[in-house]
Amino acid sequence: MSIGSTVKRLRLEKNITQEQLAEYLSITSRAISQWECERTAPDISMLPQLADFFEITVDELLGVDEQEKNRIINDVVSETSTMIDRNITEEPIKILRETLKRYPNNDRLLCTLMYALYAASEDPDFCKEHDSEIISIADRIFSYSKNDDCRGEARRLLFRHYCDTDRKAEAHSISEEMPNIETCYERNIYWMLDGEERLSHLLERISDDLRYLTWDIWAYSVHSDLPSEEKDELEKLYQKIEYMVKEKFSV
């Protein structure tokens, strides 16, 4: 079914006229008629507004099935996350913003865009320019997402952003909503697992814990006033743990 046919069906189901829909969209009723006769189609920028009016997703408006939608989102998140991890931020930000026009409140896309903006904020000018957007995306995720992972990641990124911009009171408020390490999933799922599953989980946890430990050692060495000999010892310890992660506990 074409988008014009879908608009006509939804309009009739709502029992509204072409004129009423046109008034809501601030266009002419002739434009609506052209869509429904399949002579023209709505501009892509108008799709979120149309979807909101009919209380459906843009995908449903376009007739895209759920499987295809998930494939598109998975591909975009994977592609852009890889670029961000390589310190490429401008291109993924463009891709994510464009994809969000089609899926305006998708929490995974929002979270990845927030990650890209945060990563790009190492540039102070960029950080200042996009401060309100980072906060706005976090608010959208908190408002719409039921995905605990996305909500947790948004909370983490917002906390870091507030710290980086010297807003300690706001950062403290966010930190109070973060889970205690002893109550998190990763620390407690062990008790439910058996056999190879339990061993696999333990291997993954050891690997993660060692990575966190190496970061702590590095940060302590950088920020402390230790003598150079002691910093050298920390560097050796850091390298030894790095080797263990790669050779003994990689997952």
Domains of the chain from N-terminus onward = 3-57 (1.10.260.40), 66-178 (1.25.40), 185-247 (no CATH)
pLDDT 10s digit of each residue in the chain, 251 long? 588 988 998 999 888 999 999 999 999 999 999 999 989 999 988 999 999 898 888 888 887 777 788 899 999 999 999 999 999 999 999 999 999 988 877 899 999 999 999 999 888 888 888 899 999 999 999 987 889 999 999 999 999 999 999 999 999 999 998 988 888 888 899 999 999 999 999 989 998 898 899 999 999 998 999 999 999 999 999 898 888 878 777 65
In angstroms, the CA 27 to CA 46 distance is 11
Q: Which is nearest to 21 in space by CA: 43, 52, 45, 57? A: 52
* pLDDT (0 to 100) of residue 251: 58
Rg (CA), the chain: 24
**CB 153 within 8 Å of CB 117:** no
Which residue type occupies 162? Answer: Y
* pLDDT (0 to 100) of residue 189: 92
Token representation of residue 127: 């950080």
CB neighbour list of residue 4: distance below 8 Å, 6 or more residues apart? 35, 36, 37, 38, 41
* pLDDT (0 to 100) of residue 14: 86
Token representation of residue 85: 């991890």
Cβ neighbours of 41 (radius 10 Å):
14
CB neighbour list of residue 238: distance below 8 Å, 6 or more residues apart? 214, 217, 218, 221
In angstroms, the CA 202 to CA 179 distance is 21
Token representation of residue 221: 């060495």
Quote the pTM value: 0.67
Q: Provide DSSP, 92-113.
A: HHHHHHHHHHHSTT-HHHHHHH
3-state SS, residue 193: coil
**CB 99 within 8 Å of CB 109:** yes
CB neighbour list of residue 193: distance below 8 Å, 6 or more residues apart? 201
Q: What is the largest CA-CA distance in the chain?
A: 80
Token representation of residue 8: 């006509």
